[in-house]
Amino acid sequence: MNERRLGRSLVVSAMGFGCMGLTESAAAPDSAAAEALLRHAVDRGVTFFDTADVYGLGANERLVGRALAPVRDRVVLATKSGIRRGADGAFLGIDGSPAHLRAGVEASLRRLATPVIDLLILHRVDPAIPVEDSVGEMSRLVAEGKVRFLGLSEASPDSIRRAHATHRLAAVESEYSLLTRDPEAGTLACLRELNIGFIAASPLARGLLTGTLHEPDDLPEGDVRRNQPRFFAGNFDRNVALVRIVEDMAHRLRCTPAQLALAFLLAQGSDVVPIPGPTGLAEFDENIRALDVPLSAEDLGRLARAVPPGAAAGARHVPEQMATLGH
């Protein structure tokens, strides 16, 4: 697989693997199948794996650690810290305090069964804590050899600049897909000015861009997406209409809508690394073939015009969660 560079020095596969769905999804596979899927991804050339301390309340990191321990020297592990969840999984708020971040990293190192985290990402910028304080503590973890590179998630250009002035950032991770074009409004330009890479989370719009969802009831009972505005009945219908446009273009280009959506992101720049989160082997193999989908400038322009920024109906999270973004 081709490689891409995040920042100056962190080299990763052109497409990564978002691990959240292996424990946070209603379609999550059992532990053995999930571990087999992660090892299959390595065999197919994926070297970049993204998790977080709150995914599955630590279970996600333990799963990733077990599965990738035999190939640890061949992979780049990214994890995130800075959100608090209760024992029942409820969101308890953002915590970017140095004490929380340090404790989070120590716990992540144990769960991942690794002596060092390759990329530590501040999961959300805490508006109550200067970003310089959060990143300052993260930089001390780098100095201690517990972390190699630093990043932010869902941060504003102002916070990115301030954090980068405190310690060089390798990457910023935010949601980016054909249905979520927010990073194009200023974040990507800021990152390119500072030579910081971009990790595109939820590149298939939480499954909408796979073309496999036709009505809200296609989501299994208990699926977290049932509580996300883009999947509410009225919004869902409008978003599926946009996906139909993507499906028509994909048919003409002899690929699947998921492959077209991923190819679109891959074509946005060599500093963009999508991290789809497949939960099965067939889904993974479909996604990885997006690397072989050629898109001309005309194709990209037609697609961008057909699904323009702001076209998606509904916010990507409920108000409580939306309030944590963009600080």
**Residue at 44 is within a domain:** yes
Task: Assess whether pLDDT exceeds 90 at residue 90.
Answer: no
Residue 5 contacts residue 197 (beta carbons within 8 Å)? yes
**Cα gap 237→256, rounded to integer Å:** 20
Active site (annotated) includes residue 55: yes
Specify if 50 maps to a domain: yes
Q: Kindly report the pTM of this predicted structure.
A: 0.97
Summarised one tens digit per residue, pLDDT across range 144-174 is: 999 999 999 999 999 999 999 999 999 999 9
The answer on pLDDT for 75 being more than 90 is: yes
Give me the amino acid identity at 196.
I
- Average model confidence (pLDDT) across the chain: 96
Give the CA distances from residue 121 to residues 10, 41, 307, in Å, rounded to whole numbers and listed in that order.
Answer: 14, 22, 30
Residue 230, domain member (yes or no): no
pLDDT at 265 > cutoff 80: yes
Residues in contact with 2: Cβ distance below 8 Å, sequence separation at least 6, in sequence order: 13, 14, 291
Q: What is the mean pLDDT of residues 45-70?
A: 97
Residue 127 lies in a domain: yes
Domain membership flag for residue 213: no
DSSP, collapsed to helix, strand or coil, labels residue 301 as helix
Q: Hey, is 46 helix, strand or coil?
A: coil
> What's the CA gap between 80 and 94, in Å, rounded?
12
What residues make up the domain containing 147?
3-205+265-293
- pLDDT of residue 184 exceeding 90, the answer is yes
Q: What single string gives the DSSP state of each residue in 22-42?
A: HHHSTTPPPHHHHHHHHHHHH
Torsion of CA 283, 4, 12, 285, to 10 degrees: 10
Q: What confidence category does residue 140 fall into, taking pLDDT thresholds of 50, 70 and 90?
A: very high
* Contacts of 216-222 spanning 24+ positions with Cβ under 8 A: 219/26, 220/26, 220/27, 221/26, 222/26
User: 210 lies in a domain?
Assistant: no
Residue 19: pLDDT over 80: yes
Q: Give me the mean pLDDT over the 189-210 stretch.
A: 97
237: in domain = no
* Average pLDDT of span 45-67: 97
Query: Would you say residue 42 lies in a domain?
Result: yes
| Segment 27-34 mean pLDDT | 93
The residue annotated as part of the active site, out of 55, 149, 176, 284, is 55
Segment 184-207 shows an average pLDDT of: 97
Beta bridge partners of 171: 151, 197
Task: Tell me the C-alpha distance between 111 and 106, whole Å.
Answer: 9
- For residue 89, give every residue at least 6 positions away whose Cβ sits within 8 Å of its Cβ, in sequence order, or none: 57
- CATH (domain of 35): 3.20.20.100
CA distance 193 to 81: 26
Q: What is the mean pLDDT of residues 250-255?
A: 96
Which residues contact residue 119 at a Cβ distance below 8 angstroms, ignoring those fewer than 6 apart?
6, 10, 76, 77, 78, 79, 147, 148, 149, 150, 151, 170, 171
Total domains in the fold of the chain: 1
Q: For 30-39, 49-58, 281-290, 316-325, which range has the lowest pLDDT when averaged over its residues? A: 316-325
